[in-house]
A and B are shown apart, each in its own frame.
Chain A
Amino acid sequence: MLPIVLLSVFGIVLLFLGFLKSKAILLPATLLFLLVAGAANFLDWNKTYLYFGDMLRTDNLTMVFTAIILGSAFLVVALSGSFIEDEEAQPAEYYGLIMFALVGAVMMVGFQNLIMLFVGVEILSVAMYVLTGSDKRNLRSNEAALKYFLMGAFTTGIMLFGMALLYGATGSFTLAGIAAYAVNPQTGLSLLLYVGLLMLLIGLLFKVSAAPFHFWTPDVYDGAPTVFTAFMSTVVKTAGFAALFRLLSISFVGVYEFWWVIMAVITAITLVIGNVTAVYQNSFKRMMAYSSISHAGYLLIGLASLGAQTKQAIVFYSLAYSVATISAFGVLLLVAQQRGTQTISREGATGESFDSFNGLARQNPLLGFAMAVSMLSLAGIPLTAGFWGKFYMFSTAVERGQIWLLVVAVLMSAIGIYYYFRVIIAMYFRDGVIEPIRVAPFYQYVLLAATILTIGLGIAPGLLQGLF
């Protein structure tokens, strides 16, 4: 509750700060605001409250997800310094919109009522449409924004339709009300419930870019400015999965028999499409787009085999994934800025291909190390957080006895190693430009912190346990 209020106020304050002549204050101010919101988030620790006529719930799970979202946002904003140096940039508006997007994300995490879910999704999405198109002079950015908006608006419609059908079937918008209706599938439930659930799922799966609703992802991730790609692939995904988990685990446990097959098939398709297509990319940024699809697949395993471990698995996985993704994008941001030219070829911007990472580890050991650790984590190699993320996900599948899903996931992880290691090979084993990349000290600390977090969680994954 407090984070929502604070973030809304801070967003407006940031817009007004934009009137100041100096833009220098905006970045530290945003970071400070995020810290304050993050701290306020934990004030209600170990207590459970309902707000807004029981439409929003704060409990430990909400707070943990909110913390992951705010932490990811903090890292993204901290790495955005070079992006806003541009003359044409409008940092006040960007940061303001980020604040509003976070309000939406926090609502999606804590909703108790479908209306609240819808409002949260919309607040988040509208802000993201604008941010995607924020690089006004870049044609691809504009294209991405338009695509994202058109397809996003369309699926929002489907989602809303689904909610209406659910209301028709159950007479209630609240999670508890739907759960009370769906608890006894033997008595014959209304067909509207099933159709409504499917439509609602389509809307949310679109947001987390699960196949076959993923077609917007590569173009939008590729076209959007890298900072906002990082934001999109972490905050939006975490919020989306938090919402899916809350929805399925509270309201639709009763009809698990109905939806688990659908979810399992979607999981398998997502894993295969994400991983196999990523192999063929020449642009690192596009590869990361497909990688984000594949990670949606791993996260979906937890939902398709919903059980006692799922909560743990999704929290851990989203954290591991977010940290690794952000530091990868953080390195990309520097590389693309200093090694690339602004010309854009069919393969994407020149600084974003795998080749532009050649020899990076020799000139910039720290950047190389940060990137290597995040690639290892995304590939799920032990001693990184990503390994335990996969481990928890695989455990949920074993617990439910879904061995075939597990086999698909294992094969796809092996494929994943191929494309993640292309970056490591380029950085460590190939020779490239001699000139080192200049990195601001603050930027280094942020990358280092993210790297340490990834390794720390890889060595002691138990740290997160018992928190929620």
Chain B
Amino acid sequence: MLTLGLILFPAIAATLILLIKGERAKQVALAAALVELALALSAFVQFKPDATSQFGFDYAWIGALGIRFSAGIDGISVLLVLLTGLLVPLIVLSTFNRQYERPSTFYALMLFMQAALIGVFTARDGFLFYLFFEAALIPIYFLAAMWGGANRIPVTFKFFVYTIFGSLFMLVALVYLYYQTPPVAGIAHSSAIVDFYKLKLTPNAQNWVFWAFFIAFAIKMPVFPFHTWQPDTYVESPTPATMLLAGIMLKMGVYGLIRFILPIVPLGVEAWGQTVIILSVIGIVYGSIIAIRQRDMKRLIAYSSFSHVGLMAAGVFSQTETGMQGALIQMLAHGINVVGMFFVADIIFSRTNTNQLDQLGGITRATPKLTVYFMIMLLGSVALPLTNGFIGEFLLLHGVFTYNHYLGLAAGFTIIFGAVYMLRMFQKSMFGPTSSRTATFADLTMSESLVFVPLVIMVFWMGIYPKTFMDITEPAVVNLMKYIGTTAVSMK
């Protein structure tokens, strides 16, 4: 029942916020997001680390078709629920010094988005998953296209059409899987994800189902070469929307890989996994190299995010326990770091009206707080030991390395390149002589610091004592790996 609350509460709160006039919407949205955080934390704390699905609910939805309204939290989704619960209040808080036109719509859309995201991460029915997967797109599209930059209309439209196009293929695959399940009591089949796991598809079917799913998720993450919508969308969207996109939404893709592709089409993974890892590694290197050349902070972070997510995809497809664990940990870590980085870019933009690195510089002189927080978030992003990024990337690289030494080596460039572009960004923006734009740079306000504090705590907590998070996911990962091992063998 806790899951039902997690999904419904933000949706109801959002509907009520729509009725509020004026700036009060902001405070109400923050309060609602904090309540949701409390719910997510209680789920996290009460979660029993085993392979079962907990706090669930299950109602008949489209009875005659055997489609059920069913969701719950298991070891794979628990960290993502925590991430969503944690980031949304911070993103709301990060807007406290900004003015957005029609605030009630703005914050309502953010909370609708949150409801859909929680739905995606907890759904236990294939069609329910699809529904939330698409439903998450509508609010973010409106957020980006209504409050975005000058070029927002064509850019966000490309993003929208691109992602919808991908998920239509997933819909075809889901319908196909649905009809493969044995009929229960007469004509109805089942669309429960666990029933999809039991299917024994022919190798041929597995291949196309693999691609149908993979294209949907690859566009969402994005994996090379499906990434062309991403940098422009991140840059043109208002920063809170970018944070939602990069911090949480791209995890829908990685989550989908683990939830659907690996267990349902193991033979497809066997046939195409290497191709995907190679694509991911190309994306890692390619994204890093482009990031090094960027002059715009937001665009640089966008490419770094593209590069990082490539490593997650590679880790998942390495089909090792460490790779999978790494992906789960890194999803949480990356969400925290990328939101911190985008917030830094937003703070700099709000004070100087630019994100161009060559027009910045010397900010550090008057801003001890910003410098420290920026540095910590940056170290997390470049995977320095004792920060959260290190744990995730180390596990992922270990996984890819076990799969194939050379690919692991190539993927390892992400850490070196990451240090290069991140430190370059820090140096260009924070050090050096002040420019006319940065001469009167004011340090962080109270509400801005408040956003960073939880992020910094998470960076170190995950970096120093990752056991809290690893223990909770481990049984589910072990179970999944065992399952993949046995089904793949039994299908041959």
Chain A residues with a Cβ under 8 A of chain B:
308, 376, 381-383, 387, 391, 394-395, 398-399, 406-407, 410, 413-414, 417-418, 421, 425, 428-430, 460-462, 465-466
| In contact, B169 and A462 (Cβ under 8 angstroms) | no
- Complex Cα–Cα for A387 and B164 (A): 12
B134 touching A398 by the CB < 8 A rule?
no
In the complex, whether B172 has a CB less than 8 A from a CB of chain A is yes
Q: Does B453 touch A at the CB level, under 8 Å?
A: no
**Minimum C-beta distance from B161 to chain A (A):** 6
Q: Are the CB atoms of A394 and B135 closer together than 8 Å?
A: no
State whether A429 touches B64 (Cβ < 8 A): no
Q: How far is the CA of A460 from the CA of B63 in the complex (A)?
A: 10
Across the interface, B164 reaches (CB within 8 A) one of A398, A407, A417, A430, namely A417
Contact status of A421 and B168, CB under 8 A, knowing A383-B131, A398-B175: no
Q: Which residues of A contact B172 (CB under 8 A)?
A: 394, 398, 406-407, 410
CB 8 Å contact bits of B366-393 with A (1 = contact, 0 = none): 0000000000000000000000000000
Q: What is the interface of chain B, defined by CB distance below 8 A to chain A?
A: 60-65, 127, 130-131, 134-135, 138, 142, 145-146, 152-153, 157, 160-161, 164-165, 168-169, 171-172, 175-176, 178-179, 187
Set of chain B residues within 8 Å of A398, measured between Cβ atoms: 172, 175-176, 178-179
Residue of A383, A414, A429 near B165 (CB, 8 A) is A414
What is the CA–CA distance of A376 and B142 in the complex, to the nearest angstrom?
13
How far is the CB of A380 from the nearest CB of chain B, in Å? 9
Pull 8 A–B residue pairs with CB atoms less than 8 Å apart, ordered by A.
A308-B187, A381-B134, A382-B135, A383-B138, A395-B175, A410-B171, A417-B164, A421-B160
Q: A382 CA to B172 CA in the complex, in Å?
A: 14
Known interface pairs A383-B131, A414-B164, A414-B165. Does A394 touch B61 (Cβ–Cβ under 8 Å)? Answer: no
Beta-carbon contact of A383 and B176 below 8 Å: no
> What are the residues of chain B within 8 A of A461 when measuring CB–CB?
62
**A421 near B157: Cβ-Cβ < 8 Å:** yes
A382 and B131 contact, CB distance less than 8 A: yes
Closest to B161 in A: A417
Question: In the assembly, what is the distance between CA of A428 and CA of B168, in Å?
Answer: 25
A399 with B179: CB separation less than 8 A:
yes
Indicate if the CB atoms of A465 and B179 lie closer than 8 Å: no
Q: How far is the CA of A387 from the CA of B171 in the complex (A)?
A: 11
Cross-chain contact A429 with B175 (CB below 8 angstroms): no
A421 and B175 alpha carbons, distance in the complex (Å): 26
B153: contacting residue among A381, A410, A413, A425, CB under 8 A: A425
**Lowest 10 CB-CB distances: which A-B pairs, in order?**
A462-B62, A382-B134, A414-B165, A382-B131, A410-B168, A465-B64, A398-B175, A429-B145, A398-B179, A429-B153
How far is B169's CA from A414's CA once the two chains are assembled, in angstroms? 10
User: What B residues does A462 contact at CB under 8 A?
Assistant: 60-65
Complex: how many Å from CA A465 to CA B65? 9
Q: Enumerate chain A residues within 8 angstroms of B135, measured Cβ to Cβ.
A: 382-383
- A391 interface neighbour in B145, B169, B175, Cβ under 8 Å: B175
Decide: A417 near B146, CB < 8 A? Known: A410-B172, A425-B153: no
Query: Smallest CB-CB separation from A376: which chain B residue?
Result: B138
Distance between Cα atoms of A167 and B146 in the complex (Å): 61
* Alpha-carbon distance between A406 and B168 when the two chains are bound, in angstroms: 11
A421 to B153, CA, bound (A): 11
A residues in contact with B157, CB < 8 Å? 421, 425
CA–CA, A421 and B169, complex, Å: 20
Interface centre among B153, B160, B171, B178 (most CB of A within 10 A): B171
In the bound complex, CA of A429 to CA of B178 (Å): 38
Asked whether B146 lies within 8 Å of A465 as measured between CB atoms, the reply is: no
Q: How far is the CB of B236 from chain A (nearest CB, A)?
A: 12
A413 to B134 alpha-carbon distance, docked (Å): 14
Contacts of A382 in B (CB 8 A): 130-131, 134-135
> Shortest beta-carbon distance, A436 to chain B, in Å?
16
Q: Which of B61, B64, B161 contacts A414 (CB 8 A)?
A: B161
A465 to B67, CA, bound (A): 13
Chain B, Cβ-Cβ closest to A390: B171
